[in-house]
Amino acid sequence: MDRPRRLRRTPALRALTREVHLHPSQFIHPIFVHERDTVTDIGTMPGVQRHSIDSAVQQAREALALGVPSVILFGIPDHKDATGTQAYAEDGIIQRATRAIKDSVPEVTVIADTCLCEYTDHGHCGPLCEVPGLSGADAWTVDNDASLALLAQTAVSQARAGADVIAPSAMMDGQVAAIRAALDNAGFTHTPIMSYAVKYASAYYGPFRDAAGSTPSVGNRATYQMDPAGGHREALREARLDAEQGADTLMVKPALAYLDVLNLLKREFDLPVVAYNVSGEYSLIKAAAAAGFMDERRTVLETLTGMRRAGADAIITYHALDAARWIAEDARA
């Protein structure tokens, strides 16, 4: 009789035969930075805050001390307008936060989220244009080609501020090619692009939009983010286009409902794959744990392990610091 249980008999045997391992170096810690001197709680994301620049530096330092070497920055400006000018301002909030972190904790890898949605007064990922023949909310969409120039300008300003990685998330056609060309022309040929290659129009983003103040005031993002029912064909097309245009890593966002897509990209492309464990996924676990329905520690580590098992080389997760602590505690036990 085959007895697979033999290798599950003790903790040591289970550890010895384990195929998937979690390590803090695989995590990317997201930081929301606003233009205030205060740190404010985000009600829909328990345990997550909007940070001042000084506090963001402390977050980066704490992450590094826990073995998490990378952070991704999301900016919340005081001023918003139709074209998101603060996204590419040389003294924009992300640019200043990047300089501060690189000056104080140069060992930390700073990834700059490159988008316009947090900076526009309408909450979309680029300037809007009218759609002929339609009315109401459907009459407006993002002007794809006008957005490319602004995203490229944003990427160069972020690289100039010291960002180690540029992460375009707007889902505009051709954005990777436009950003790659702009970075190269500005002398940043060494700066990699972490592309949000496969990003769905997901309900799981709700808490993030509260955190970043980026809820669209008109229409929705379904005209440029992917249809959750789109399937593998569309995912492969989007990822292949970004890879051909110069992406150095490919991302799947969200992660949990799209583990099949994550695994697909891992198998089909010879590039590192990143999973974004998004705000809604985080808040669901937090809410269930607070209600006593689930064990937070076990659930988080199991969830992150599932993303690694599906093929994620790295995971952007709001659980990063807690998970790093728990992994360290388990290693000492």
CB 324 within 8 A of CB 297: no
**DSSP string over 9-55:** SSHHHHHHT-S----GGGEEEEEEEESSSS-EE-TTSTT-EEE-HHH
Give me the amino acid identity at 216: P
d(C-alpha 131, C-alpha 8), whole Å: 60
| pTM score above 0.85 | yes
- Looking at residue 8, the DSSP 8-state letter turns out to be G
Q: Where are the alpha helices (DSSP H) in 246-319?
A: 259-268, 279-290, 296-310
Q: What's the confidence (pLDDT) of residue 208?
A: 86
CA 262 to chain centroid? 14
- pLDDT tens profile 2-25: 999 999 999 899 989 999 999 999
Question: What is the phi/psi pair of residue 330, to 5°?
Answer: -65, -35
Q: What's the confidence (pLDDT) of residue 216?
A: 74
How do 70-76 and 140-142 pair as beta strands?
unpaired
Residues 6+ apart with CB under 8 A from 276: 196, 251, 252, 253, 254, 255, 315, 316
252 forms beta bridges with 198, 275
Closest to 115 (Cα-Cα) out of 224, 275, 230: 224
- The terminus-to-terminus CA distance of the chain in angstroms comes to 34
Q: What's the confidence (pLDDT) of residue 84?
A: 93
Phi-psi region of 123 (alpha: psi -120 to 50; beta: other; left: phi over 0): left
Q: What's the confidence (pLDDT) of residue 130?
A: 79
Spans in the chain with pLDDT lower than 70: 136-137, 217, 219
d(C-alpha 267, C-alpha 262), whole Å: 9
Q: What's the confidence (pLDDT) of residue 97?
A: 98
Q: What's the confidence (pLDDT) of residue 111?
A: 98
The residue count of the chain comes to 333
Q: What angle do CA 263, 304, 289 make, to 5 degrees?
A: 135
Closest to 280 (Cα-Cα) out of 39, 116, 48: 48
Instruction: Tell me which residues are annotated as active site.
Output: 199, 253
